[in-house]
Amino acid sequence: MTTPLRLRFAPSPTGNLHIGGARTAIFNWLLARKSGGQFIIRVEDTDLERSKRAFEDAMLAELRWLGLDWDEGPDVGGPHPPYRQSERMTSYEAVLSQLLESGGAYRCNCTEERVDGLRAEQEASKASRRGYDGHCRALNLDSTCGKHVIRLKVPEGETIVDDLVKGSVSFANADIEDFVIARSGAEAGAFGMPMYNFVVVADDVAMRITHVLRGDEHLINTPKQLLIYAAMGATPPRFGHMPLILGKDGRKLSKRDGATATREYRELGFHPEALLGYLVRLGWSCGDQEIFTLDELKVVFTTQGLGTGGAKWDLEKLAWVNGHWMRALPLATVAMRARAFFAARGWAEHPREEALVACLRERTRTLVELADAARMFFGDEYPRDEAVISATLPGARDVLSRVGEVLEGVADWSEPALEAAVHGWCEANGVKLGKVAQPVRVALCGQKTGPGLYQTLHVLGRDASLSRLRAAIG
| Interaction between residue 350 and ligand GLU (CB under 6 A) | no
Largest CA distance in the chain: 107
d(CA 472, CA 400) in angstroms, rounded, equals 8
Q: Mark 202-221 with x for binding to ligand GLU (rule: CB under 6 A) and - for no binding.
A: ------------x---x---
Measured from the CB of residue 52, what is the shortest distance to ligand GLU in angstroms? 14
Region of residue 146 (phi > 0: left; psi between -120 and 50: alpha; otherwise: beta): left
Closest to ligand GLU by CB, 59 or 321: 59
Q: Taken in order 408, 414, 420, 426, is the CA torsion positive or negative?
A: positive
Length of the chain: 474
**CA–CA dist 181, 152 (Å, integer):** 7
270 closest CA partner among 335, 322, 333 = 322
- Binding-site member from 7, 11, 177, 191 for ligand GLU (CB under 6 A): 11
20 lies in the site for ligand GLU, by CB under 6 A: no
CB atoms within 10 A of CB 358: 17
**Crossing angle of helices 462-473 and 453-460, rounded to 10°:** 110
- Number of residues engaging ligand GLU in binding (CB under 6 A): 7
Nearest-approach distance from CB 121 to ligand GLU, in angstroms: 34
Provide, rounded to whole angstroms, the least separation between the CB of residue 200 and ligand GLU.
5
Phi, psi of 424 (to 5 degrees): -60, -45
CA angle 79, 83, 89 (to 5 degrees): 105
Q: What is the DSSP-derived secondary structure letter of residue 208?
A: T
Q: Which is nearer to ligand GLU, 11 or 223 (CB)?
A: 11
The least distance separating ligand GLU from the CB of residue 114, rounded to whole angstroms, comes to 31
Please identify, using beta-carbon distances, which residue of 245 and 472 lies nearer to ligand GLU. 245
Name the one range near ligand GLU by CB under 6 A: 5-13, 248-256, 306-314, 344-352: 5-13
Question: What's the closest the beta carbon of residue 373 comes to ligand GLU, in angstroms?
Answer: 39
Residue 229 C-beta: closest distance to ligand GLU, Å: 13
Beta-sheet pairing, 149-152 with 180-184:
antiparallel
Can you point out the beta strands (E) in 165-283?
167-172, 180-184, 191-194, 211-215, 238-242, 245-246
CA atoms within 13 A on the CB side of 225: 21
| For ligand GLU, the closer CB: 214 or 350 | 214
- Could you say whether residue 28 binds ligand GLU (CB under 6 A)? no
- The active-site residue, picked from 153, 255, 312, 448, is 255
| Binding residues for ligand GLU restricted to 32-61, rule: CB under 6 A | 44
Piece in contact with ligand GLU (CB under 6 A), picked from 8-16, 102-110, 181-189, 330-338 = 8-16
Rounded CA gap, 321 and 327, in Å? 10
- Cβ nearer to ligand GLU, comparing 229 with 382: 229
Active site residue 255: yes
Enumerate long-range contacts of 91-98, CB under 8 Å, 24 or more apart: 91/202, 91/203, 91/206, 92/182, 92/191, 92/194, 92/198, 92/199, 92/202, 93/191, 95/198, 95/202, 95/205, 95/232, 96/150, 96/181, 96/182, 96/191, 96/194, 96/198, 98/232
6-14, 124-132, 430-438, 463-471 -> range binding ligand GLU (CB under 6 A): 6-14
Instruction: Kindly state the smallest distance separating residue 141's Cβ from ligand GLU, in Å.
Output: 30
Kindly tell me which of 222 and 456 has the beta carbon lying closer to ligand GLU: 222
Position 10 contacts ligand GLU (CB under 6 A): yes
**245 is a contact residue toward ligand GLU (CB under 6 A):** no
Residue 161 contacts ligand GLU per CB under 6 A: no
Q: How far apart are the first and last CA of the chain?
A: 74
Closer to ligand GLU by Cβ: residue 18 or 441: 18
88 touching ligand GLU, by CB under 6 A: no
Catalytic amino acids? Answer: 255
**Contacts with ligand GLU, residue ranges (CB under 6 A):** 10-12, 44, 200, 214, 218
